């Protein structure tokens, strides 16, 4: 038996846990990045600790769900207070923080977008996407077809899979007759030769606009001025797709086409929301007004499942979207809404809009210096603390998934060194070719921890290249 865990009354040995997991757990609800899978016992700030007590600097923070660090005292204390006050209540009844959180998000949207709206809760990002699909279909008189992007990811429920471009998530579950039409997303690093990023962005918008030229282009009936498609689902920065940041003018061009043909803009902020990019919502960087915003993950810092959406008043008022249009037993649960309310208060009080861009610039500068040393880093980019490093072969362009896989293995082995002691590194793999490190560190990461991250990445690449 191992006795590392300071809180557990019984600590089961790693080997026994892995044997039990192999026998009793479905592998369908997880992804094993390394073999054997890694077991962690404790988290604090930017670090997780394994059974041996080795620290691992986490640069992905549970896919951007733990934006405010492990063991955040302010948020943990909020959870503890709520447990003693009102830990649970059936979702057909009301409680204070549910109403306060909805009001806070709606007022914030009114200030930024100039629109009245309402907030609707659920428990997970994919479930909130499902709710948004119902909302859109209802508002658009039953139209069930959507536009979405190549490289986009919106979840793995049936509805969310239909608007996620990867066939891998749909392949074994039947034919998706209402699968979205997937359009090119401007990917600056892999743009066509001879084009600037802005020209490529414009060409993507023009390719979309061409669908409406005549009735024979496929989606538009000029006699009735109706589109077959109801909405366009977008991630302002592609998450699982590799933290791809489009040129700043892209969404303005896209929104102009959407407005011209009466198509709704649904913005998926599940991974990029809550100051990951330096704004509460990443769409704020691009100067367009959404019709729906879907959010989740960092809303509760990963402490409790809660998600939701904001939508324009005319789409979601009780006359058009009446009680019972969707329902989840645990939606708007008081533990989650208390945390969500505190997250938003804390975010504005600690001024993440100023601190995140500064830290992001520091991190990006370190990645660029690393890129000069390692020609296998083909591209680095980012917005706020959503950053990317694309791992390639020595030509600096050809995707090199094998090298990144080695890096992940070495990082999770915990055999890197810092000040003469062992340390590990937690990375996330993303991108169209699974060759991109997607960095989503704690928003409270220090400049010293950023420097450590760059140093560890240097060690990691050097070791991985040696094989």
Per-residue pLDDT of the chain (467 residues; tens, 9 = 90+): 344 555 556 889 999 999 999 999 998 888 887 888 999 999 999 999 999 999 999 999 999 999 999 999 999 999 999 999 999 999 889 999 999 999 999 999 999 999 999 999 999 999 999 999 999 999 999 999 999 999 999 999 999 999 999 989 899 998 888 999 999 999 999 999 999 999 999 999 999 999 999 999 989 999 999 999 999 999 999 999 999 999 999 999 999 999 999 999 999 999 999 999 999 999 999 999 999 999 999 999 999 999 999 999 999 999 999 999 998 899 999 999 999 999 999 999 999 999 999 999 999 999 999 999 999 999 999 999 999 999 999 999 999 999 999 999 999 999 999 999 999 999 999 999 999 999 999 999 999 999 999 999 999 999 999 97
Model pLDDT, residue 6:
57
Check if the beta carbon of residue 169 is closer than 8 Å to that of residue 152.
no
Helices (H), 142-249: 158-162, 197-209
Q: Which CATH class is domain 77-350?
A: alpha beta
Distance CA 426, CA 362 (A): 19
Question: Could you tell me the two tokens for 221?
Answer: 């009936």
Contacts of 196 (CB under 8 A, 6+ apart): none
Q: Which CATH architecture has domain 14-60+354-465?
A: Alpha-Beta Complex (3.90)
Which alpha helices (DSSP H) does 8-95 contain, by range?
14-24, 61-64, 73-85
For the stretch 2-22, what's the b/e string if a residue is b when 16 or more beta carbons lie within 10 angstroms of its beta carbon? eeeeeeeeebeebeeeeeeee
Sign for the CA dihedral angle at 79, 85, 89, 94 comes to negative
Bridge partners (DSSP) of residue 234 are: 267
| CATH 3.40.640.10, the chain: domain bounds | 77-350
Distance of CA 439 to the CA centre of its chain: 11
The tokens for 5 are 């865990």
> Cα–Cα distance between 415 and 425 in angstroms, integer?
9
- Tell me how far apart the alpha carbons of residues 70 and 60 are, in angstroms, rounded to a whole number: 12
Rg (CA), the chain: 23
Question: Which residues does residue 42 pair with via DSSP β-bridges, in sequence order?
Answer: 49
Q: How far apart are CA 281 and CA 358, in angstroms?
A: 17
- How much is the pTM? 0.96
Beta strands in 7-54 (DSSP E): 40-44, 47-50
């Amino acid at each position: 038996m191992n006795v590392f865990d300071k809180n557990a009354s019984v600590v089961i040995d790693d080997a026994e846990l892995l044997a039990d997991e192999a026998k009793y757990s479905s592998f369908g609800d997880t992804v094993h990045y390394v073999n054997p899978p890694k077991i962690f016992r404790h988290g604090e700030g930017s670090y997780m600790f394994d059974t041996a007590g080795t620290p691992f600097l986490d640069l992905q923070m549970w896919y951007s769900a733990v934006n405010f660090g492990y063991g955040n005292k302010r948020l943990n204390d909020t959870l503890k207070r709520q447990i003693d006050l009102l830990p649970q209540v059936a979702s057909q009844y009301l409680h204070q923080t549910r109403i306060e959180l909805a009001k806070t998000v709606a007022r914030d949207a009114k200030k930024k977008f100039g629109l009245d709206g309402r907030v609707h809760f659920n428990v997970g990002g994919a479930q909130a996407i499902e709710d948004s699909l119902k909302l859109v279909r209802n508002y658009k008189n039953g139209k069930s077809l959507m536009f979405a992007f190549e490289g986009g990811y919106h979840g793995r429920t049936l509805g969310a899979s239909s608007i996620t471009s990867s066939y891998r998530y749909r392949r074994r579950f039947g034919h998706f007759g209402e699968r979205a039409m997937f359009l090119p997303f401007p990917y600056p690093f892999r743009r066509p030769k001879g084009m600037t990023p802005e020209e490529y962005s414009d060409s993507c918008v023009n390719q979309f606009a061409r669908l409406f030229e005549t009735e024979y282009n496929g989606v538009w009936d000029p006699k009735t001025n109706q589109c077959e498609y109801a909405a366009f689902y977008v991630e302002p920065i592609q998450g699982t797709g590799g933290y791809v940041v489009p040129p700043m003018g892209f969404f303005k061009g896209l929104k102009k086409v959407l407005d011209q043909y009466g198509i709704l803009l649904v913005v998926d902020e599940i991974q990029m929301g809550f100051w990951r990019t330096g704004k509460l919502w990443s769409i704020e960087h691009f100067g367009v007004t959404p019709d729906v915003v879907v959010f989740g993950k960092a809303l509760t810092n990963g402490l409790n499942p809660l998600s939701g959406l904001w939508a324009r008043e005319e789409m979601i008022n009780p006359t058009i979207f009446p009680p019972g249009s969707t329902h989840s037993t645990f939606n708007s649960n008081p533990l989650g809404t208390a945390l969500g309310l505190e997250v938003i208060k804390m975010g504005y009080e600690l001024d993440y809009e100023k601190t995140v861009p500064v830290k992001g610039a520091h991190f990006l500068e370190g990645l660029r210096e690393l890129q000069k040393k390692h020609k296998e880093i083909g591209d680095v980019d980012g917005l706020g603390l959503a950053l990317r490093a694309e791992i390639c072969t020595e030509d600096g362009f050809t995707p090199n998934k094998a090298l990144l896989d080695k890096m992940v293995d070495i990082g999770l082995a915990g055999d890197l060194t810092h000040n003469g002691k062992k340390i590990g590194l937690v990375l996330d793999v993303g991108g169209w070719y699974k060759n991109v490190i997607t960095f989503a560190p704690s928003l409270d990461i220090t400049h010293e921890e950023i420097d450590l991250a760059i140093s560890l990445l240097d060690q990691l690449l050097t070791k991985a290249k040696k094989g």
